[in-house]
């Protein structure tokens, strides 16, 4: 390049830099959010005779799911719709959906799993405002269901006092997750009943390590291979026994606090630290940050305790794919038994539970031009929330054709095992093609179009007596501890701090447990957690907690379920 | 050459050390092969797994019954063949004018091309571009962005410049235009350089996964490495299970399946590698030529 | 006068129509696929709201950069990138030189060739494959830990301990690239004038001295070129490798700028992603240009990439 060209380039760059520096930085302004919604809802007319088309991105489903299922066609017929379902598996949802939205392909109806995603959608202008009054006007029963089974969900869809989506609930009348023990091992080491308290658990794990439970003459077994893959699984059963949810907001004396900072958390860490020092925990778990092997270690007979397992079918020995079945394949004498939530020496049984508040349906912002579509969807969801027939059709298909109620677990002539409860009927039950059949004929999973599970309302009669008593024995709802805000990422700054803080906490706790740090560092952890944005989260959480009742009043949550 | 005693000892030690290095390079692949052929119980045994003690092909059956792997294979082959062909063609066409001294503004254009090696728009704007061109879910989204890689253009340009100028002059006297000179004289004479570029490009296409992860949303159009990434790195068990129909045969673990998937993916490279190796080596020497 | 200039330009273009018909599509291609995305970088200076579009979103000046540098995780990502890159460069840069020198001493050509063949091999596999293999090899029940246990040691958390993870990252990086990197040095070695060695032998220099005084100095230009080229990658720190090996537990040391950009993009924080990407690009560019300038100045204009 010639000298003149060079000088010209340098001047150009300098000018651009100057201009940019002069523009006042306003990193937090979100212009479009300040404007009121352009939709005048009082004038929106939805003509039921007009066929409306909807691109529908529902809950995460299997990649084998296919459009044109019976459930889809049924809804299209009843509500005069043309639905174009957009199925996404876990990977597509987390990786491709953001890119799709960035590219401007915004579906009419959009499902999000967590409040964080909803806020990102709001900030980028992907979704439209949906005032509470509109939902109440067109879907009062739907609102009632949310209010009854998971009112926290209302927090998931709101941002700065305005509502942007339709919350959903999953209410299955079950409590905390269940653990699994190797009963044959317990007997081999002289314990006749499943451990119920933390102390009994300690004793059992200790004997598993040192008294050769598998009788092979080698000290090659451990008590427990903890799952540290996800925070919601990490030593949860033990923390819960002492009444803490270490990775969630909890209420203490009318204030919200972070579970991980409480003295009880420190107490549990101390216990775990002792257990690790005694050699009860398989040290490999530390390296298994994805939680890949906990089940494999249990099945292969390296450890004798596993958490969690959340359905009675986990223990159906006759099913080769259940935990029991898989363990039996390795060890024909094995006996895998369920165990209810633990309790501390003096306390009651307690276990962590997600609660009823679930996910968020949203409407693409382009529907501001076609608000009748929103009304149609609300009416559809309202009708399904009112009618058991519609509800069952939307979730499972037609009784007698797609599904049947089996009071007990049965083996059908086609070789498939149908568990007690709602099960498939031939030809959909064909075990070689179960998933393909389901996804092609009925649509999978059942929450795709109607996003709620309302077991007590509509499915109670299809829960077999055995399953019901199993739940009340091992996973009673009364034992659950649920965070008052539901998911912790409802607080506005969670995107900025929460993920990092959870990671920081996870690593810190593991380091304390395996003795890389002294227990005294816990106080330092508390201070550091607050410094790294935790204080902001706590302040916001308490603000939300204060607003909670205001929101509940607006949607009419009854006092009893607050 | 006479060698002192010390030099002899050094020579032997040196060879032994190099032998060790070579073994270290080989072992991870050997280990993967062994695991992929092992039964479930054998694979979960601790040890070095130098050879499989109990052989089972269950993992391979499992992997090969996964429709994604097969379509992925097809798409990867298509991508590699198409991408390499187009890339070669484009690189030749770009390199030829840059190699001609009479080309107006030659240095400026060369700079424009080399600059892209140093600075680019990054992930977000590139994604938006591909999307606005309507190339999402199109195999060309994987081919176009890397088609005229600056590095390859420079290498071929350098090779073209090393060809004798007299060839061009005599062709011009015969009335040949630039296009004819390129296709009838330059390209045939540049086979070694082009072979190298072709091999680099095809290895690049065979191994790429990130672009496909971003630009391909339809599993039927997805490439092998992206499935591999999901299965092997993210342990996406849902994806692994797609192939399971007969649940009674469970003589594999997630590890053996991963290992088998890896082996199936690298097999083609392993097979052609010994034959093509010398081209790779030649190529990197070409790359060493200063611009 | 002006018309004459125009005419001469026109005739020149006509004369070179063959060349132009080749280069014009290439330039269009480059404008489209490389230079258009660069204009998209304006979103780094905007509060990019999808529904407002790239060019109409509101300007925020350097606001996004302020946000980047006031956050916890971007400075950390820069630090991690620098640490990994510096370690990679300081540990990995000389490995191919050493390998080439060692190979150069082998006199049995068959042995030399087979060693070379095996050491290049890892270069041809993506980090998806290699990552998968190393996750197994360094994992809890993998062969490395089995070996350690056999020797009576305690298992090591290679993949989840901050320090060990970096060690694994660097060594596997060298493992993958050293053999391939050695080729170019071998080429340079084969280009050394044999007369130099003969003269040295006459002067009584042993092989060690020959290596020190003849072989090594003749490799220096190649080393400088490669060094400058590798600086261009300084702020990328090997995304493919890191992305396929890292996990939550080593986030503190393994979250590099590229993974940060990807995460922000997936979290739909596009302005921040673009700002981070731009920072990375500009610093990389400055590094290469300065180091090339320095290399040229030091060597009196002989060395340097361009």
User: What is the full DSSP assignment across C58-107?
Assistant: EE-TTHHHHHHHHSSHHHHHHHHHHHHHHHHHHHHSSHHHHHHHHHHH--
Residue among A498, A373, A385, A424 nearest A106 (CA): A373
For B30, the domain range is 1-56
Q: What is the pLDDT of residue B241?
A: 44
Q: What is the pLDDT of residue A234?
A: 92
Q: Taking CA atoms, what residue in A is nearest to B240?
A: A63
Mutation target vs B (from C125, C139, C153; most B CBs, 10 A cutoff): C125
Which chains reach chain C with 3 or more Cβ–Cβ distances below 8 angstroms? A, B
Percent with pLDDT over 70 in chain B: 87
Contact C165, C253 (CB under 8 A): yes
* Confidence check: pLDDT of A81 > 70: yes
Out of A31-40, A312-321, C216-225, pick the least confident. A31-40
What beta strand segments (E) does chain C contain? Answer: 46-47, 58-59
Partner A contacted by B41 (CB < 8 A):
yes
Same domain assignment for residues A336 and A199: yes
Cα distance between residue B1 and residue B289, in whole Å? 32
Yes or no, beta carbons of A21 and C62 under 8 Å apart: yes
Q: What is the DSSP letter of A85?
A: E
Q: Tokens for C122?
A: 């890892």
For C33, the domain range is 2-52
Q: What does pTM read for this prediction?
A: 0.83
Query: pLDDT tens digits for C267-303?
Result: 888 888 889 988 988 888 888 888 878 877 877 665 5
pLDDT band at B289 (very low <50, low <70, confident <90, very high): very low
Q: What is the pLDDT of residue B245?
A: 35
Classified as helix, coil or strand, A281 is strand
Q: What is the pLDDT of residue B242?
A: 41
Same domain assignment for residues B197 and B290: yes
**Taking all residues of chain A, what is their mean pLDDT, rounded to a whole number?**
87
Does residue A9 sit within a domain? no
Q: What is the pLDDT of residue C223?
A: 85
Which of chain C's residues have a Cβ under 8 Å away from the Cβ of A284? 140-141, 155
Out of A12-16, A143-147, B224-228, pick the least confident. A12-16
Q: Which among C107, C179, C284 is the nearest to B25, CB-wise?
A: C179
CA distance A115 to chain B (A): 24
Q: What is the pLDDT of residue A23?
A: 62
Q: What is the pLDDT of residue B107?
A: 84
Average pLDDT over residues B222-249: 61
Yes or no, beta carbons of B209 and C37 under 8 Å apart: no
* Confidence check: pLDDT of B162 > 90: no
Same domain assignment for residues B151 and B33: no
Other CB atoms within a 10 A radius of the CB of residue A332 amount to 7
Cα distance between residue A535 and residue C104, in whole Å? 62
Q: What is the pLDDT of residue B243?
A: 38
Partner A contacted by B220 (CB < 8 A):
no
Classified as helix, coil or strand, A82 is strand
Q: What's the CATH code of the domain at A98?
A: 3.40.190.10
Does residue A60 sit within a domain? yes
Burial of A257 (0-12, 13-18, 19+ CB in 10 A): middle
Does residue C58 sit within a domain? no
* Confidence check: pLDDT of C43 > 80: yes
Q: What is the pLDDT of residue C222?
A: 82
Same domain assignment for residues A123 and A189: no
Buried b or exposed e, range A52-78, using 16+ CB within 10 angstroms: bebbbbbbbbbbbbeeebbbbebbbee
Q: Which among A289, A497, A504 is the nearest to C160, CB-wise?
A: A289
Burial of B64 (0-12, 13-18, 19+ CB in 10 A): middle
Same domain assignment for residues A405 and A513: no
Average pLDDT over residues A415-433: 81
Query: pLDDT tens digits for A133-159?
Result: 999 999 999 999 999 998 989 999 998
* Confidence check: pLDDT of B116 > 70: yes
Q: Which among B213, B238, B245 is the nearest to A90, CB-wise?
A: B238
Other CB atoms within a 10 A radius of the CB of residue C78 amount to 20
Which of chain A's residues have a Cβ under 8 Å away from the Cβ of B41? 300, 330
Domain count, chain B: 2
Same domain assignment for residues C122 and C32: no
Q: Which among B15, B28, B145 is the nearest to C137, CB-wise?
A: B28
Q: What is the DSSP letter of B38?
A: B
* Confidence check: pLDDT of A513 > 90: yes
Does residue A558 sit within a domain? no
Contact C306, B291 (CB under 8 A): yes
Q: Tokens for C180?
A: 């391939």
Partner C contacted by B192 (CB < 8 A):
no
CA distance B165 to chain A (A): 27
Same domain assignment for residues A200 and A321: yes
pLDDT band at B290 (very low <50, low <70, confident <90, very high): very low
pLDDT band at A27 (very low <50, low <70, confident <90, very high): very low
Instruction: Give the angle A488-A493-A495 at the CA atoms, nearest 5°.
Output: 75
* Confidence check: pLDDT of A288 > 80: no
Contact A114, A487 (CB under 8 A): yes
Buried b or exposed e, range B3-13, using 16+ CB within 10 angstroms: eeeebeeebee
Higher pLDDT, A447 or B140: B140
Q: What is the pLDDT of residue B263?
A: 92
Q: Mark out the alpha helices in A401-520 (DSSP H runs).
A: 434-437, 465-474, 494-513
Same domain assignment for residues B34 and B170: no
pLDDT band at C232 (very low <50, low <70, confident <90, very high): confident
Other CB atoms within a 10 A radius of the CB of residue C202 amount to 8
Domain count, chain C: 2
Q: What is the pLDDT of residue A439?
A: 64
Q: What is the pLDDT of residue A33?
A: 66
Yes or no, beta carbons of B123 and C265 under 8 Å apart: yes
Contact B60, B264 (CB under 8 A): yes
Contact C182, C92 (CB under 8 A): no
Yes or no, beta carbons of A287 and C140 under 8 Å apart: yes
Which helix (H) or strand (E) segment is C27 a member of?
helix C17-30
Same domain assignment for residues B133 and B249: yes
Q: Which among C34, C105, C277 is the nearest to B116, CB-wise?
A: C34
Same domain assignment for residues A495 and A418: no
Q: What is the pLDDT of residue B283?
A: 62
Does residue C271 sit within a domain? yes
Same domain assignment for residues C99 and C223: yes
Mutation target vs B (from A62, A99, A104, A220; most B CBs, 10 A cutoff): A99
* Confidence check: pLDDT of B208 > 70: yes
Cα distance between residue B112 and residue A559, in whole Å? 69
State the residue for tokens 């990502």: C77
Mutation target vs C (from B45, B122, B279; most C CBs, 10 A cutoff): B122
CA distance A145 to chain C (A): 31
Partner B contacted by C120 (CB < 8 A):
yes
Cα distance between residue C126 and residue C144, in whole Å? 22
Q: What is the pLDDT of residue A381?
A: 96
Same domain assignment for residues A148 and A192: no
Out of A475-489, B136-150, C137-151, pick the least confident. C137-151
CA distance A26 to chain C (A): 5
Q: Taking CA atoms, what residue in A is nearest to C246?
A: A289
- Count of residues making up chain B: 291
Contact A162, A558 (CB under 8 A): no
Same domain assignment for residues B129 and B268: yes
Q: What is the pLDDT of residue C271?
A: 86
Query: pLDDT tens digits for C7-24?
Result: 677 787 777 888 889 999
Burial of C191 (0-12, 13-18, 19+ CB in 10 A): exposed
Partner B contacted by C114 (CB < 8 A):
yes
* Confidence check: pLDDT of B246 > 50: no
* Confidence check: pLDDT of A348 > 80: yes
Same domain assignment for residues A222 and A323: yes
Q: What is the DSSP string of A236-268?
A: HHHHHHTT--TTSEEEETTEEEEGGGSHHHHHH
Domain count, chain A: 2
Higher pLDDT, A320 or A431: A320
């Amino acid at each position: 390049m010639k000298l003149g060209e060079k000088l010209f380039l340098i001047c150009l760059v300098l000018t651009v830099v100057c201009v940019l520096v002069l523009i006042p930085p306003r990193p937090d302004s979100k212009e479009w959010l300040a404007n009121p919604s352009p939709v005048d809802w009082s004038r929106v007319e939805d003509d039921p005779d007009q066929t409306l088309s909807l691109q529908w991105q529902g809950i995460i489903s299997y990649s084998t799911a296919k459009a044109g299922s019976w459930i889809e066609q049924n809804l299209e017929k009843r509500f005069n719709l043309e639905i174009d379902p957009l199925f996404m598996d876990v990977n597509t949802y987390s990786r491709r959906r953001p890119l799709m939205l960035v590219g401007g392909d915004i579906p009419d109806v959009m499902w999000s799993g967590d409040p964080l995603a909803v806020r990102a959608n709001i900030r980028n202008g992907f979704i439209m405002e949906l005032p509470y009054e509109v939902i109440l006007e067109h879907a009062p029963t739907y609102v009632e269901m949310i209010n009854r089974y998971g009112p926290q969900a209302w927090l998931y869809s709101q941002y700065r006092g305005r509502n942007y989506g339709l919350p959903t609930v999953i209410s299955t009348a079950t409590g905390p997750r269940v653990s699994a023990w190797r009963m044959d091992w317990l007997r081999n080491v002289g314990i006749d009943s499943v451990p119920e308290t933390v102390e009994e658990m300690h004793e059992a794990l200790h004997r598993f390590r040192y008294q050769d439970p598998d009788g092979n003459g080698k000290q090659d077994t451990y008590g427990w291979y903890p799952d540290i893959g996800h925070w919601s699984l990490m030593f949860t059963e033990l923390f819960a026994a002492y009444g803490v949810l270490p990775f969630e907001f909890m209420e203490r004396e009318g204030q919200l606090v972070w579970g991980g900072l409480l003295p009880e958390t420190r107490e549990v860490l101390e216990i775990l630290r002792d257990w690790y020092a005694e050699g009860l925990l398989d040290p490999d778990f530390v390296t298994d940050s994805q939680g890949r092997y906990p089940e494999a270690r249990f099945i292969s007979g390296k450890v004798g305790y596993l958490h969690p397992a959340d359905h009675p079918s986990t223990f159906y020995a006759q099913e080769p794919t259940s935990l029991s079945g898989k363990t039996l394949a390795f060890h024909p004498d094995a006996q895998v038994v369920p165990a209810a939530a633990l309790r501390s020496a003096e306390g009651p049984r307690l276990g962590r539970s997600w609660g009823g508040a679930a996910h968020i349906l949203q409407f693409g912002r382009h529907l501001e031009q076609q608000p009748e579509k929103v009304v149609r969807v609300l009416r559809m969801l309202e009708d399904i929330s009112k009618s058991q027939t519609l509800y069952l059709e939307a979730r499972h298909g037609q009784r007698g054709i797609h599904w049947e109620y089996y009071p007990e677990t049965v083996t059908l002539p086609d070789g498939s095992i149908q568990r007690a409860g709602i099960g498939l009927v031939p030809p959909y039950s064909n075990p070689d093609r179960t998933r393909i059949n389901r996804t092609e004929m009925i649509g999978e999973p059942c929450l795709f179009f109607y996003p709620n599970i309302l077991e007590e309302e509509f499915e109670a009669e299809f829960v077999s007596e055995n399953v019901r008593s199993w739940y009340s024995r091992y996973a009673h709802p009364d034992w659950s501890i649920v965070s008052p805000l539901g998911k912790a990422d409802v607080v506005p700054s969670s995107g900025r701090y929460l993920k990092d803080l959870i990671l920081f906490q996870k690593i810190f706790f593991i380091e304390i447990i395996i003795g890389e740090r002294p227990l005294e560092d816990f106080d330092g952890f508390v201070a550091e957690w607050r410094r790294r944005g935790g204080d902001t989260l706590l302040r916001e959480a308490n603000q939300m907690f204060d607003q909670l009742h205001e929101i509940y009043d607006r949607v009419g949550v009854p006092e009893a379920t607050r | 050459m006479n060698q002192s005693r010390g030099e002899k000892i050094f020579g032997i030690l040196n060879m032994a050390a190099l032998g060790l290095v070579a073994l270290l390079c080989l072992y991870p692949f050997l280990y993967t092969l062994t695991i992929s052929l092992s039964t479930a119980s054998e694979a979960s045994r601790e040890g070095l797994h130098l050879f499989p003690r109990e052989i089972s092909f269950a993992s391979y059956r499992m992997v090969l019954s996964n429709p994604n792997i097969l379509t992925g294979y097809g798409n990867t082959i298509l991508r590699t063949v198409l991408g390499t062909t187009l890339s070669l063609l484009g690189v030749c066409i770009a390199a030829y004018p840059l190699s001609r001294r009479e080309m107006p503004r030659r240095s400026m254009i060369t700079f424009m091309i080399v600059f892209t090696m140093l600075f680019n728009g990054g992930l977000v704007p590139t994604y938006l571009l591909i999307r606005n061109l309507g190339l999402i879910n199109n195999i060309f989204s994987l081919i176009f962005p890397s088609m005229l890689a600056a590095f390859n253009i420079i290498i071929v340009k350098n090779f073209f410049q090393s060809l004798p100028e007299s060839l061009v002059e005599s062709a011009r006297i015969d009335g040949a235009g630039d296009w004819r000179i390129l296709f009838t004289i330059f390209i045939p004479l540049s086979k070694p350089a082009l072979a190298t570029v072709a091999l680099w490009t095809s290895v690049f296409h065979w191994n790429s996964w990130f672009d496909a992860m971003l630009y391909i949303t339809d599993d039927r159009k997805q490439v092998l490495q992206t499935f591999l990434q999901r299965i092997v790195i993210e342990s996406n068990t849902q994806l692994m299970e797609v192939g399971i129909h007969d649940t009674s045969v469970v003589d594999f673990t997630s590890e053996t399946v991963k290992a088998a998937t890896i082996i199936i993916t690298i097999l083609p490279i392993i097979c052609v590698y010994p034959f093509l190796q010398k081209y790779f080596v030649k190529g990197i020497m070409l790359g060493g030529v200063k611009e | 006068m002006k018309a004459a200039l125009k005419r001469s330009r026109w005739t020149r273009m006509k004369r070179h129509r063959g060349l132009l018909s080749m280069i014009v599509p290439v330039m269009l291609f480059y404008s489209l696929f490389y230079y258009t995305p660069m204009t998209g970088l304006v979103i780094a200076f905007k509060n990019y709201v999808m529904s407002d579009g790239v060019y109409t979103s509101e300007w925020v000046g350097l606001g996004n950069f302020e946000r980047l540098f006031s956050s916890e995780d971007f400075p950390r990502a820069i630090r991690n990138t620098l640490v990994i890159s510096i370690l990679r460069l300081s540990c990995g840069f000389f490995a191919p030189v050493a390998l080439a020198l060692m190979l150069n001493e082998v006199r049995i050509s068959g042995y030399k060739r087979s060693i070379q063949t095996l050491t290049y091999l890892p270069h041809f596999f993506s980090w998806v494959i290699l990552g998968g293999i190393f996750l197994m090899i360094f994992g809890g029940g993998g062969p490395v830990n089995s070996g350690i246990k056999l020797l009576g040691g305690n298992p090591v958390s290679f993949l989840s301990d901050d320090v060990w993870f970096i060690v694994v990252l660097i060594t596997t990086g060298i493992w993958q690239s050293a053999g391939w990197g050695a080729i170019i040095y071998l080429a340079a070695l084969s280009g050394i004038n044999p007369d130099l060695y003969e003269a040295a032998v006459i002067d009584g220099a042993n092989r060690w001295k020959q290596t020190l005084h003849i072989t090594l100095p003749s490799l220096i230009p190649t080393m400088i070129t490669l060094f400058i080229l590798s600086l261009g990658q300084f702020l990328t720190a090997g995304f493919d490798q890191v992305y396929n090996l890292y996990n939550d537990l080593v986030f503190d040391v393994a979250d590099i700028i590229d993974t940060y950009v990807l995460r922000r993009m997936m979290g739909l924080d596009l302005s921040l992603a673009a700002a981070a990407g731009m920072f990375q690009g500009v610093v990389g560019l400055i590094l290469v240009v300065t180091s090339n300038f320095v290399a040229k100045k030091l060597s009196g204009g002989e060395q340097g990439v361009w």
